[in-house]
Amino acid sequence: MQGSMDDLSRTIDVLEKAVQATPEDHPDLPMWLNNLGSSLRDRYLRQENMEDLSRAIDVQEKAVQATPEHHPNLAKWLNNLGISLGDQYLRQGSLEDLSRAIDVQEKAVQAIPEDHPNLPIWLNNLGNSLRYQYLRQGSMEDLSRAIDVQEKAVQATPEDHPALSVRLNNLGNYLRD
């Protein structure tokens, strides 16, 4: 395990150098920022260091801001930022983080074609965030939206996909709520 943590820390160091060496107007800068943010989030998940998560969010926000509106990877960067904001909500309980997570996850879903293979994943992420908001605030509108989004996630998932059972279970939980 230590070797993999050393590798992850080295990855972060190298990616930080890549970002620093890249001009702000370089077309690949958003990709480098996204990669750095994802690696920082990975380290947060392993070590639970809030500084890593905070830096991941900061870097992922920069990736989104540096990406043109119709860029094919914008939805991916938005989804990654939404996941990190959701992690921060789960750790610290800030409704502002949850609201921001929902906002960027909705933008990610809107920016992706309906036949994209990641659509069910991103719909599932959005559904989870909406359910967290329902559980926190008790709004039936949030729960209804969570159910609608999760139904779309289930419908967009092929019948033989291994994640179908998870998405069906999530939908069942939302309906039970």
Task: Say if residue 23 is in the same domain as residue 57.
Answer: yes
d(CA 59, CA 119): 23
Please give the pLDDT value at position 3: 60
Please give the pLDDT value at position 177: 95
How many domains does the structure of the chain reveal? 2
pLDDT at 79 over 60: yes
Q: Count CB neighbours of 56 within 10 A.
A: 28
Write out pLDDT tens, residues 126-168: 999 999 999 999 999 999 999 999 999 999 999 999 999 999 9
The residue segments making up the domain with residue 67 are 1-97
pLDDT at 2 over 60: no
Average pLDDT (2-12) is: 85
Question: H/E/C letters for each residue in the chain?
Answer: CHHHHHHHHHHHHHHHHHHHHCCCCCCCHHHHHHHHHHHHHHHHHHHCCHHHHHHHHHHHHHHHHCCCCCCCCHHHHHHHHHHHHHHHHHHHCCHHHHHHHHHHHHHHHHHCCCCCCCHHHHHHHHHHHHHHHHHHHCCHHHHHHHHHHHHHHHHCCCCCCCCHHHHHHHHHHHHHC
Out of 35, 68, 97, a domain closes at: 97
Write out pLDDT tens, residues 86-126: 999 999 999 999 999 999 999 999 999 889 999 999 999 99
Please give the pLDDT value at position 5: 85
Please give the pLDDT value at position 4: 86
Task: Say if residue 91 is in the same domain as residue 17.
Answer: yes
Residue 35 located in a structural domain: yes
Task: Say if residue 132 is in the same domain as residue 80.
Answer: no
Average pLDDT (12-30) is: 95
For residue 76, give the CATH number of its domain.
1.25.40
pLDDT at 36 over 90: yes
Task: Say if residue 18 is in the same domain as residue 73.
Answer: yes
Average pLDDT (39-54) is: 96
Q: Count CB neighbours of 169 within 10 A.
A: 10
Out of 36, 68, 97, a domain closes at: 97
Residue 85 located in a structural domain: yes
